[in-house]
Structures are given as C-alpha cells and as structure tokens.
Amino acid sequence: MGYRIVVAGATGNVGREMLNILEERQFPVDELAVLASRRSLGTEVSFGDKTLKTQDIEQFDFSGWDIALFAIGSDATKKYAPLAAAANCVVIDNSSLYRYDPDVPLIVPECNADEIHGYSKKNIIANPNCSTAQMVVALKPLHDRATIKRVVVSTYQSVSGSGKSGMDELWDQTKAVYNPVNDVPPKTYPKEIAFNVIPHIDVFMEDGSTKEEWKMVAETKKIIDPKIKVTATCVRVPVFVGHSEAINIEFEDFLDEDEARDILRQSPGIMVIDKREDGGYVTPKECVGDFATFISRVRQDSTLDNGLNLWCVSDNLRKGAALNAVQIAETLGREVLKKG
C-alpha cells in the first residue's frame, strides 16, 4: 500500500523536478494529482511513462490525500497550504512562508530528520532555501565533530533559482550579445545577467544585507545550531543550473583537513572530489541531475587557529528544492505515516 501524493505547481521547474525524483527514487505512489494555477490548467506533465493533465488548484479537494508537495510560491501557499493541512494532508512546502515559524519544522533529512515529528502542530513541513540546503549538508557532520563557531559564505547562484524567467533572460541576453540587433533589457534581474555577476538576490534589508543572505543565516541556525554565527554574500551568476558556495568555517576545536575530508566522505548525501590538480574539483555544470552535494578544495585556513575552507556545489533544483522535499516525504513515510 502506497501514498496518495499531490504535486502543486507541477508545471514549474521545481514541480517537474519533484515528479522526476518521485519516479527516480521509486517513491511508493498509489495515486498522483498534479495541480497548477488556472492559467496552466490542462498542461500535460510527465511522470515516468505516464502523461498527466494538471488540475485546477482552486477547485481541488485535499481530503483523503496523504502528502502534498508545494512548489507554488509564498502567496499561493498562504492560501492553499492551510486548506490541505486542515484536510489532514501533510504539506511539504518549498516556499519561504513557513520556514521561520516555530511551529513548523524546517528539515534537511541529513541534518535534522528527528525534527520531522514536529509536523503535527500545523500539518506542514518547510523545505529550506536552496543555498542553505546544500551548505548545511556539508556543515552538520563537521559541526558534530568540532563545533562550528562562525561561517563566512559567498554564493554563486544559478539563474534557475529565479525560475523559468531567469533562465529565459540569461538565454535571450546571451544570444543578444552575439546579435546586437536584438536588445534584451533586464526584467527578472536589476542588471544584465549575461556575461555578468550580480551581488543581489531577493530584496534589500535595512542593514544592507539581502533577504537571501538573511535566509541563509536564519535557516542555518534553525537547522543546525542557533549559536552558529553566519555571514553571507549571495551572488547571481550566468549559470543555468547548479549553485556553488565558497565556505570559510571557524571551529571551537581544531579539525585537520584530512580528517574533515574523511568525515565528509562518510556522511550521507555528500560526494568528495578533491584532487589538487587541474580539474580535480566539481563545477556546477558537472553536478546537474545528480542527487549529491559535492565538496572540493578542502584546506586549512592559516589565518585562524581552527579554520577550514571548502567549495560546495549542488544542483539547486534537486538538493536545493525538489530532492530535499521528496527526502522529507520519504522520512515522513518511514518515521510517521508508515504506509509504503
């Protein structure tokens, strides 16, 4: 006996990836409903060898469904997640709406799977921000060994983090560089993204940081340890898929780089590719379509008593969004619902 699963936002980048991953990981699905907004009604999506037509989320009855994977943005989630939760359908939400709610667990299964039991307060579980998800997978096993005091992270985030509009804008602007007759002014981003980098993701806050940077701070504290100090600079780069991060870590205890590599190699969800030679590291292009979070360039920071540097790369549509949501569903099924 399997699960009755809903995917809301099934026509978007993340929603489609959720369907792919449910199939790839052979999640025990008895019945599947794919939902979209009225403007996308009837659009067909693929699930394995099946083709499904989207249903109108406004008219959908969540009663009798087990789990709903939401990839519809905060505004729509605010309207529909409580309806699903009230119908006893557990919502796993990819938006930022519930991440900082103390009554909603924020889960990365490799880090804090035990928190899954807190879902029952609201019948909702939050999926973290894409840039946070891959970072905490790398930080948690190191924190367990040597206790992290401070993290300084600079991100190199792909345009797929902005959805289809970001990917289209990079594609169209790149073509326009080679055909100057076609002018493609920025719409999704405040400046041209083609052949450029933009140190600005989400809105600016009063202290000069952006909301994306604030998210990384708040979510790392909630997922791993509220005592960890985090400072982030988040940058959009002209890459279609795959987020990269340069992470500097200060520990309370000394941690040798060789031991750190060994710890990471043995940790779930991580692949260490770290050869000190040309090409002996992973780039975002190479991580696309993979489940793993890749770690490279592990090295001691000689400016700190207990410091390490590392390079972290992952497919943001997978571990940063759809994969983590499906892993949460797997954990919920294994630990709580116990049907599949």
User: Given 89, 130, 287, 312, which residue is catalytic?
Assistant: 130
195 sits in the region (left: phi over 0; alpha: psi -120 to 50; else beta) called: left
Q: Beta-carbon neighbour count of residue 38 at 10 Å?
A: 11
> Contact, 37 vs 53, CB < 8 A?
no
DSSP per-residue string spanning 105-145: -B--HHHHGGGGGGGGGTTEEEPPPHHHHHHHHHHHHHHHH
Residue 130 is among the residues annotated as catalytic for this protein: yes
Q: Tell me how far apart the alpha carbons of residues 233 and 245 are, in angstroms, rounded to a whole number.
A: 10
- Total residue length of the chain: 340
Residue 143 is among the residues annotated as catalytic for this protein: no
Do β-strands 124-126 and 90-93 pair in parallel, antiparallel, or remain unpaired?
A: parallel
> Contact, 132 vs 223, CB < 8 A?
yes
User: Given 143, 234, 243, 312, which residue is catalytic?
Assistant: 243
Active site positions, annotated: 130, 243
